[in-house]
Amino acid sequence: MEKNPKKQVKQRIFVIQILLVGCICLLVARSFEVQIFKARDLTKKAEQGYSKYLTIKGERGQILDRHLSKLGTSIDAPTITADPSKILDPARTATDLSKILKVKPRVLKEKLSRNRRFIMVAEKVSPTQAKRIRALNIKGIYLENDSKRFYPNRNLAAQVIGFTGKDNSGLEGLEFKYNAILEGEVVKIKVKRDGAGRVLDINKKRRSELKGNSLVLTIDKKIQFLSEQTLEQTVKTHQAKSGMALVMKPSTGELLAMAHYPGFNPNNFNASNRDTFRNRAITDAFEPGSVIKIFTVAAALEKGFTPKSIFFCENGKYRIGRFTIHDTHPREWLTLNQIIKFSSNIGVTKISETIGKKALHDYLTDFGFGLKTGVGCPGETNGTLLSHGKWSKIDAGAISFGQGLSVSAIQLISGVCAIANDGMLMQPMLIKKIISNTGNDIQVFQPTQLRQVVSTKTADQVKAMMNLVVQEEGTGTMAAMEGYRVCGKTSTAQKANKNKTGYEKNKYIAAFAGFAPQKNPELAILVVIDEPKKQHYGGEVAAPAFKTIMAQSFSYLNIAPENTKSMIAAVTKGEVN
């Protein structure tokens, strides 16, 4: 008996319906499993394919001079990466990149042929290199945003500013000291990738928000340049080992220049000798020689002596125990004025004997010797000033004319500025302010008075004596400037032997320290030349450099000459009471 055709059709439809319902149920079940139970895992896999997490570090803050000129900044320096699986011709790609990156083609080919999805090709390339690589438009080669430190003025103030390493962290100078302030913030963010696996542009606003704070220095770029240029010429002319020049505003303690020679280029510091990295004006101590005499005389004036007080100078030879102190020229009776003018070792020794060890030590300490200045540079030295209880009689005499103690250049210029500033010692300033990445002031530093070391009257009397130094028969006539009354003091100090007691033969430190104008000093300058050849006197080697820096700085700052008539009157009067 044959089956009913209609019944068969119905049965088939029913089976198909059951199968469709079954498929739908399976799809629903699978969809439920995917969307509910496996959603988190599958989402992660999707995100791994089209997004990734990157650690982003904000650009480093800038180092600026007092007029906001850039001394240390950051420039775009993209990092070149590659996905070898997407590179069609590793050999050709390696050849093209090698011409731009200056890397051997075989080295690049080996990298680009690896069975990996990511390799580092080159870090922090120059903007020019990045532009050329971008123009090649090679599939699988990517440029990721990055930056590197750049010093637009090359050697200028290099020892002060310092430099950073490959990771943009400070290694020397202010870059090291203020690293926590300058470095940008670090955050981990999720970024999207396109179908080719390239990272899409990271929000530039977000990058700028992470930028570090900036330092504004008291340094004046122009005066720094003038100082370095003059210093280089002086060191080369006298075939010296090295030199330093510091320029400071006596009334505020602001450093306008801190120059060194030889220098180095912080953009390529690996090409230089590590010894040149040191900020010797801060870290190195040396015997100051005769510049110390102005502080010895200041102590005597405070103890009741006058500029006309006289001392017998023994015709150029004065014996203390088994030691003999010499003067360059034999003289008999000299006033305090003349002791400074002629730079008499015997004269200041007699002064130290009269006022006593304790008084001399106390005043030298008050002027800042033996103490760190706190200028804000790494590695600052205290110098050496032993307790007066440890001084022998010859020690007191030697210290009075600058032997037997050691000072840093920053201590010496600060002490000279105290005389210029009516006896008030100021805190040396190198940092003017700290500003945010939006340009707002975070912290502004003000001039700080430390202490009144000597009276205004004493300071004025010492100024007058220092003015005599640059007049006829003085030791510093080569520092005299037409139109300004210059106050200064020469120094020619034998270098102490590092390995044993005594001094090295024919090795000297020639220095000149001073300020101008006499009445209201605008600038104080210290020039120190290490181991000049042939000529070695401070008045012949360092004084001309002082004059050049002062004259050029005055011209740049538009500091008008003093009243000519009053200058003539002061010169014709001779010694000042």
Whole-number Å distance between alpha carbons of 468 and 139? 77
Whole-number Å distance between alpha carbons of 303 and 355? 7
Q: 70: how many CB neighbours lie within 10 A of its CB?
A: 16
**Long-range CB pairs of 103-109, under 8 A, 24+ apart, other chains included:** none
Confidence (pLDDT) at 566: 44
- Do the beta carbons of residue 365 and residue 454 sit within 8 Å? no
Q: In total, how many domains does the chain have?
A: 1
* Strands (DSSP E) found in 141-237: 141-144, 147-150, 163-164, 170-172, 186-192, 214-217
Give 265-308 pLDDT, tens digit per residue.
Answer: 999 998 888 899 999 999 999 999 999 999 999 999 999 999 99
- Give the strand pairing for 317-320 and 310-312: unpaired
Confidence (pLDDT) at 47: 53
Look at residue 19 and tell me if it is in a domain. Answer: no
Whole-number Å distance between alpha carbons of 429 and 228? 20
Q: Which of 83, 73, 59 is nearest to 212 (CA)?
A: 59
Give the model's confidence band at 569: pLDDT under 50 very low, under 70 low, under 90 confident, else very high. very low
407: buried, middle or exposed (CB in 10 Å: 19+, 13-18, 0-12)? buried
Question: Domain with 414 in it: what CATH number?
Answer: 3.40.710.10
- Do the beta carbons of residue 416 and residue 407 sit within 8 Å? no
Look at residue 277 and tell me if it is in a domain. Answer: yes
Give 218-267 pLDDT, tens digit per residue.
Answer: 999 999 999 999 999 999 999 999 999 999 999 999 999 999 999 999 99
Q: What single letter denotes the amino acid at residue 338?
A: Q
Look at residue 4 and tell me if it is in a domain. Answer: no
Look at residue 324 and tell me if it is in a domain. Answer: yes
Confidence (pLDDT) at 521: 97
Q: Which of 215, 217, 213 is nearest to 157 (CA)?
A: 217
DSSP SS3 for 473: coil
Domain extent at residue 452: 221-573
Q: pTM here?
A: 0.84
Q: Which residues contact residue 512 at a Cβ distance below 8 angstroms, ignoring those fewer than 6 apart?
A: 476, 479, 488, 489, 490, 491, 526, 527, 538, 539, 542, 543, 545, 546
Q: How far is CA 83 from CA 80, 196, 434, in A?
A: 11, 10, 42
Residue 416 pLDDT > 90, yes or no? yes
Q: What is the 8-class DSSP label of residue 429?
A: B
Whole-number Å distance between alpha carbons of 575 and 247? 28
Residue 517 pLDDT > 80, yes or no? yes
- Do the beta carbons of residue 219 and residue 258 sit within 8 Å? yes
Range scoring the smallest mean pLDDT among 134-148, 406-420, 475-489: 134-148
Look at residue 271 and tell me if it is in a domain. Answer: yes
Look at residue 476 and tell me if it is in a domain. Answer: yes
Q: Which residues contact residue 465 at a Cβ distance below 8 angstroms, ignoring those fewer than 6 apart?
A: 294, 297, 307, 336, 337, 340, 341, 576
Whole-number Å distance between alpha carbons of 442 and 130? 35
Residue 565 pLDDT > 60, yes or no? no
Give 339-370 pLDDT, tens digit per residue.
Answer: 999 999 999 999 999 999 999 999 999 999 99
Q: Show the tokens assigned to 325.
A: 């102190």
Q: What are phi and psi of 563, to 5 degrees?
A: -65, 120
Whole-number Å distance between alpha carbons of 152 and 135? 27
Residue 529 pLDDT > 70, yes or no? yes
Q: What is the 8-class DSSP label of residue 84?
A: G
Q: Which of 127, 217, 141 is nearest to 178 (CA)?
A: 217
Q: What are phi and psi of 74, to 5 degrees?
A: -125, 145
Active site (catalytic) residues: 290
Look at residue 83 and tell me if it is in a domain. Answer: no
Whole-number Å distance between alpha carbons of 576 and 306? 10
Look at residue 57 and tell me if it is in a domain. Answer: no
Residue 436 pLDDT > 70, yes or no? yes
